[in-house]
Amino acid sequence: MNPKLLAPIVIAGITAVGAFSIVATAPSVEHVEPTRAIPTVRVIDAIPQTLRYGVKTQGTVKPRTEADLVPEVSGRVVWIAPSLAPGGFFEAGDPLVRLESRDYELARDRQAAALQRVKSEGEFAAAELQRQEGLSRAGVASQSQIADARRAGSVAEANLLDARAGLEQAQRDLDRTELRAPFEGRVRDEHVDVGQFVSRGTAIANLYATDYAEVRLPIADDQLAFLDLLTPSPDDPTFAVGGPVVRLSATFAGLDSEWIGRVVRTEGEIDPRSRMIHVVARVEHPYDPQGEQAVVPFAVGLFVQAEIEGPEVHDVIVVPRYAMRNDSQILIVDAENRLYRRQVDVLRIDRDQVLVKGPLPDGERICVSPLQVVIDGMRVRPVEDEVEANSDSEAGRS
Whether residues 145 and 182 share a domain: the answer is no
- Domain boundary among the residues 312, 344, 359 is at 312
Whether residues 308 and 319 share a domain: the answer is no
pLDDT at 6 over 80: no
**CATH code of 130's domain:** 1.10.287
Q: How many domains does the chain have?
A: 4
Which of 33-47, 141-155, 262-276 is the least confident region? 141-155
pLDDT of residue 390: 45
pLDDT of residue 389: 42
Backbone angles phi, psi at 216, to 5 degrees: -95, 115
Whether residues 218 and 192 share a domain: the answer is no
Tell me the CB-side half-sphere exposure of residue 55, using CA atoms within 13 A: 22
Q: Are 261 and 282 in contact (CB under 8 A)?
A: yes
Backbone angles phi, psi at 268, to 5 degrees: -80, 0
Whether residues 273 and 308 share a domain: the answer is yes
pLDDT at 224 over 60: yes
123-129 mean pLDDT: 80
pLDDT at 129 over 60: yes
Whether residues 222 and 299 share a domain: the answer is yes
Backbone angles phi, psi at 99, to 5 degrees: -105, 160
pLDDT band at 201 (very low <50, low <70, confident <90, very high): very high
Question: Using CB atoms within 10 A of its CB, is residue 243 exposed (0-12), middle (13-18) or buried (19+)?
Answer: buried
From first CA to last CA, the distance across the chain in angstroms is 104
14-21 mean pLDDT: 71
Q: Say if 68 falls within a structural domain.
A: no
H or E element, residue 347? strand 346-349
pLDDT of residue 56: 92
pLDDT of residue 393: 45
pLDDT of residue 147: 79
Q: Average per-residue pLDDT in the chain? A: 84
**CATH code of 268's domain:** 2.40.30.170
Q: Say if 320 falls within a structural domain.
A: yes
Q: Say if 7 falls within a structural domain.
A: no
Q: Say if 10 falls within a structural domain.
A: no
Tell me the CB-side half-sphere exposure of residue 284, using CA atoms within 13 A: 5
What is the domain range of residue 89?
73-100+177-209
Whether residues 200 and 286 share a domain: the answer is no
Which of 22-31, 176-185, 381-390 is the least confident region? 22-31
Give the length of the chain. Answer: 398
Share of residues in the chain with pLDDT > 70 (%): 84
Residue type, 95: P
Whether residues 217 and 294 share a domain: the answer is yes
Q: Which residue has the higher pLDDT, 338 or 236?
A: 338
Whether residues 196 and 144 share a domain: the answer is no
Q: Say if 186 falls within a structural domain.
A: yes
Share of residues in the chain with pLDDT > 90 (%): 44
Q: Say if 20 falls within a structural domain.
A: no
pLDDT in tens, 62-98: 998 999 999 999 999 999 999 999 999 999 999 999 9
Q: Say if 36 falls within a structural domain.
A: no
pLDDT at 365 over 70: yes
Q: Identify the three-state secondary structure at position 395.
A: coil
Whether residues 109 and 167 share a domain: the answer is yes
Whether residues 190 and 81 share a domain: the answer is yes
Q: Say if 5 falls within a structural domain.
A: no
Whether residues 191 and 231 share a domain: the answer is no
pLDDT band at 290 (very low <50, low <70, confident <90, very high): low
Whether residues 93 and 185 share a domain: the answer is yes
Long-range contacts from 351-354, C-beta under 8 angstroms, 24+ separation: 351/321, 351/398, 352/320, 352/321, 352/322, 353/318, 353/319, 353/320, 353/321, 353/394, 353/395, 354/318, 354/319, 354/320, 354/321, 354/324
Q: What's the CA gap between 280 and 376, in Å, rounded?
A: 51
- Which of 206-220, 313-327, 342-356, 375-389 is modeled with the greatest confidence? 206-220
Tell me which residue of 218, 244, 204 sits closest to 72, measured CA to CA.
204
pLDDT of residue 351: 77
pLDDT band at 42 (very low <50, low <70, confident <90, very high): very high
Q: Are 213 and 288 in contact (CB under 8 A)?
A: no
